[in-house]
Amino acid sequence: MNQKNVSISAQYLLEMNGICKSFPGVKALDNVQLKIRPHSVHALMGENGAGKSTLMKCLFGIYQRDEGEIILNEKAVDFQNPRQALDNGVSMVHQELNQVQDRSVMENIWLGRFPMNGIVVNSQKMYNDTKKIFDNLSIDIDPAAIIGTLSVSQRQMVEIAKAVSCNARILVLDEPTSSLTETEVKHLFGIINNLRDNGCSIIYISHKMEEILEISDDVTVMRDGKWVYTGASKDINIDKLIALIVGRELTNRFPPKNAKPSNEVILHVDNLTGEYMPTVIDASFELKKGEILGVAGLMGSRRTETVETLFGIRKRKGGTIKLRNKQIENRNARESISNGFALLTEERRQSGIFPTLDITFNSIIANIDQYTNKFGILKEKKIAEDTKWVIDTLRVKTPNSKTKIVNLSGGNQQKVIMGRWLLTEPTIMLLDEPTRGVDVGAKYDIYQLIINCVENGNAIIFISSEMPELLGISDRIMVMSNGRVAGIVDAKTATQEGLLRLAAKYI
């Protein structure tokens, strides 16, 4: 059945009315409403800091709302913790994955619900039950694999399977495709359609406009902690969505690039090979001064492994790296930073932020040597000035610089990390999914910062799973396939179909 033909006035499975929630210094939710129909995919959109994740955490029992009511199956509910929500058929896949890295996939799925045989965990049943769920969802992952060995996209699929294992009637997906390739997104959409057709309603949080219009039945927009709009997805277009989200017209999704890369090659990489699998097998490429080199590829293409080996946080087995025709080693992160490299990692919670520390610390930590005098005393004024620059330039939504970074939305955390690396004034920036989980307005700001960097003579390697983003921001696009460079193409003449063909070259 095509759910897009279902009337929006149908009986609601979930109603959230007049929801308010405040934190010290900020009112995160102000009289918000959300109404979810049965058998539907309801998109929830808004800029970073608009309150989307906070609203869902109020639903899921992570936060306790200050005001308002939640009605589920025509009954008022007030979940005090996530376990109560799960027991009542509400499940949530968070934007940031919280998994036990050194335990198996199946243990992560059934954590707190292990099948028992007396006082012993029934591992065989746990394996079989996990395999059955994976088979139903067409997920090709070994239930016994250690979850820390999986890619981010595979771990995201595990979280979705975990939510399905709870027999959820309401499933919240917070940025589910942020680390997925085009092929993986299509797979996920098949899972979502199957769940919807089998009685589950999906609340789908995303910043990706094309995805929203493709997968959702209804859409709600929030701005600055308030409800702005709810309507049928078929009655809205991308331009109207952007205007509702940012509160103004945004005529172009990508800033203009006024300068072209020079002919000067600033970085030579020849036959780069990593030590431990999975890793880059053989990568050779050049990077020009003032160039944005996009990197495309499917899951398992080793895009992340390539830049991590280049930066020295993965051991290099072979190959040479030359910066301005001088061979360098980049044996570790400190050496790479001293050589003018910066790496914004794909997984910000795991390897990007210091969650219990404030914005100031997270902004200056990569450049800490610049903030002490010859007596080892911190330059408090310079620290305050540079932190203010990060907050103001990247439009970080925060009460003040002393706010713990973990209390920011995911997109605002990403802005702080981006600012951290900009403060080091790098020659070469390695950006691994820099706009992951970032709203359309903030994406534009990050694109502009990137363009400003290359116009000032820097060079950028830009990994993204979003084909339109690669085509819109890059000068050239390098396509990775199974650890190898499958081809390098001009972004002006490249097509999504051509990139996908190259991405499958060595599979």
Beta strand extents in 207-276 (DSSP E only): 218-223, 226-232, 265-274
Residue 141, pLDDT above cutoff 50: yes
| pLDDT level of residue 250 (50, 70, 90 thresholds) | low
Residue 45, pLDDT above cutoff 50: yes
Q: What is the pLDDT at residue 249?
A: 61
Residue 96, pLDDT above cutoff 80: no
Total Cβ atoms within 10 A of residue 204:
24
- Contact of 82 with 88, CB cutoff 8 Å: no
C-alpha distances in angstroms, 424 versus 97, 166, 282, 441, 452? Answer: 28, 46, 30, 25, 15
| pLDDT level of residue 258 (50, 70, 90 thresholds) | confident
DSSP element (H, E) containing 475? none
Residue 9, pLDDT above cutoff 50: no
For domain 27-246, the CATH class is: alpha beta
| pLDDT level of residue 423 (50, 70, 90 thresholds) | very high
What tokens does 447 get? 């694109």
Question: CA-to-CA distance for 178 and 89, rounded, in angstroms?
Answer: 25
- Contact of 151 with 164, CB cutoff 8 Å: no
| pLDDT level of residue 199 (50, 70, 90 thresholds) | confident
Residue 294, pLDDT above cutoff 90: yes
Q: What is the pLDDT at residue 251?
A: 62
Residue 92, pLDDT above cutoff 50: yes
Model pLDDT for residues 304-321, shown as the tens digit of each residue: 999 999 999 999 999 999
Residue 20, pLDDT above cutoff 70: yes
Pick from 147-151, 291-295, 443-447 the range whose average pLDDT is largest. 291-295
Q: What is the pLDDT at residue 376?
A: 82
Question: Per the CATH hierarchy, to which homologous superfamily does domain 252-340+426-507 belong?
Answer: P-loop containing nucleotide triphosphate hydrolases (3.40.50.300)
- Please report, for the chain, the start and end positions of each structural domain, with discontinuous segments joined by +: 27-246, 252-340+426-507, 358-424
Q: What average pLDDT score do residues 403-421 get? A: 86
Question: CA-to-CA distance for 207 and 191, rounded, in angstroms?
Answer: 20
**Which of the pair, 349 or 160, is modelled with greater confidence?**
160
Q: What is the pLDDT at residue 330?
A: 96
pTM of the model: 0.65
C-alpha distances in angstroms, 308 versus 286, 312, 330, 426, 444? Answer: 17, 6, 10, 16, 26
**Residue 219, beta-bridge partner list:** 43, 231
Residue 8, pLDDT above cutoff 70: no
Q: What average pLDDT score do residues 388-406 get? A: 90
Residue 421, pLDDT above cutoff 80: yes
Q: What is the pLDDT at residue 10?
A: 45
| Cα dihedral sign, 56-60-62-65 | positive
The chain-wide mean pLDDT, for the chain, equals 89
Residue 292, pLDDT above cutoff 80: yes
Q: What average pLDDT score do residues 439-448 get? A: 80
Residue 466, pLDDT above cutoff 70: yes
Q: What is the pLDDT at residue 319?
A: 95
| Cα dihedral sign, 212-217-223-225 | negative
Residue 131, pLDDT above cutoff 60: yes
Total Cβ atoms within 10 A of residue 83:
12
Residue 86, pLDDT above cutoff 70: yes
What tokens does 39 get? 């058998």
428-432/265-274 β-pairing: unpaired
Model pLDDT for residues 205-240, shown as the tens digit of each residue: 987 888 888 999 999 999 889 999 999 999 998 888
C-alpha distances in angstroms, 410 versus 49, 207, 281, 402? Answer: 9, 12, 32, 17
Total Cβ atoms within 10 A of residue 162:
21
Closest CA to 484 of 324, 326, 278: 278
Residue 57, pLDDT above cutoff 90: yes
Residue 171, pLDDT above cutoff 60: yes
Residue 26, pLDDT above cutoff 80: no
Q: Where are the alpha helices (DSSP H) in 61-181?
A: 82-87, 105-109, 123-136, 152-165
